[in-house]
Amino acid sequence: MSRNRFTGKLCVVTGAAAGIGRETALAFAAEGAEVHAIDRDAAGLAALERGAGIVPHAFDITDAGAVAAFHAALPRLDVQFNCAGIVTVGSLDECSRADWDRALSVNVTSIFLMMQAALPLMIAGGGGSIVNMASVISSVGAAPQRFAYGATKAAVLGMTKSVALDYAGQGIRCNAICASGVETPSMTARIEAMDNPDAARAMFSSRQPVGRMGTPAEIAELALYLGSDASGYMTGSHVIIDGGAKL
């Protein structure tokens, strides 16, 4: 049963058309929030909106003008969950400049733009909570063939701590989620595209001592906790939810 942790709150979720973002947008709405869901996938957002009464916004969050215009139209902002991201595969010598630039743009610059645009609204409203999607592949630890991805997620942790420190006095909290493998549609697509999907799934699952990948719903519940008043004494933290992968 819903605890209505977000009644009267306005929450923004990026990457909301699928996976963790979608699950979190639905969970915020189920607990009473007015949810503004952002993604480039207009069709995915439309399906989400029909099922939950969520307000969809189809645009590219790496576009500074689009991000500014979106926030300018909001009356206030209580919670921002920056979930959108991409996984760039490859080691340093395999990372092209295009790969590097794209990873930085989607995983780092978009969060910079979203947080910067959120600040005036949150400050005017007396505070707010920003939750950033990072990874255990970051400054927490490494994984094979994840050079650009790990670098960008480490940057997310650095930005999170900086914002937490600089704006704590204005009632703004900023925390990050560090997950290991999660069974999202994008993860499933990557597995199914491999030569031996069954072996690939077993490999991804075995990275976690619990023997499986996480679910979007499990990550969503953590995002809701970090966005809610229940985590009011937390800021600048990165919370590891990885099935023991980095023990």
How many angstroms separate the CA atoms of 30 and 7, rounded? 9
The whole-angstrom separation of Cα 136 and Cα 215 is 16
C-beta of residue 160 within 8 angstroms of C-beta of residue 236: yes
User: Whose CA is closest to 179, among 139, 219, 209?
Assistant: 219
Which pLDDT does position 49 carry in this prediction?
Answer: 79
Q: Which two tokens stand for residue 166?
A: 């600089």
User: Which of these, 211, 207, 234, 212, lies nearest to 223 by C-alpha position?
Assistant: 234
Q: Which is nearest to 81 in space by CA: 54, 99, 102?
A: 54
Cβ contacts of residue 198 below 8 Å, gap of 6+? none
User: pLDDT (tens digit, 0 to 9) for every residue of the chain, 247 residues total?
Assistant: 457 899 999 999 999 999 999 999 999 999 999 999 999 999 999 988 776 779 999 999 999 999 999 999 999 999 999 999 999 999 999 999 999 999 999 999 999 999 999 999 999 999 999 999 999 999 999 999 999 999 999 999 999 999 999 999 999 999 999 999 998 888 888 888 888 988 988 988 998 999 999 999 999 999 999 999 999 999 999 999 999 999 8
Hey, where are the domains in the chain?
10-179+214-241
Q: Which among 149, 167, 225, 233 is annotated as catalytic?
A: 149
pLDDT at 190: 82
Amino acid 171 reads G
- The contacts of residue 16 (CB under 8 Å, 6+ apart) are 22, 24, 25, 37, 38, 39, 45, 48, 54, 56, 83
Do residues 3 and 229 make contact, with C-beta atoms less than 8 angstroms apart?
A: no
214-224: burial string, b at 16+ Cβ within 10 Å, e else: bebebbbebbb
Q: Please state which CATH number belongs to domain 10-179+214-241.
A: 3.40.50.720
CA geometry: angle at 161 spanning 31 and 214, to 5°?
A: 50
| pLDDT at 1 (0 to 100) | 45
| Residue 2 confidence (pLDDT) | 54
Handedness of CA 164, 135, 38, 86 (dihedral sign): positive
Model confidence, pTM: 0.94
- Annotation marks residue 225 as catalytic: no
Per-residue pLDDT, 200 = 85
Provide the 3-class DSSP secondary structure of residue 55: strand
Quote the pLDDT of residue 107: 98
Sheet containing 172-179: which strands, arranged edge to edge?
55-58, 34-39, 10-14, 79-82, 128-133, 172-179, 238-241
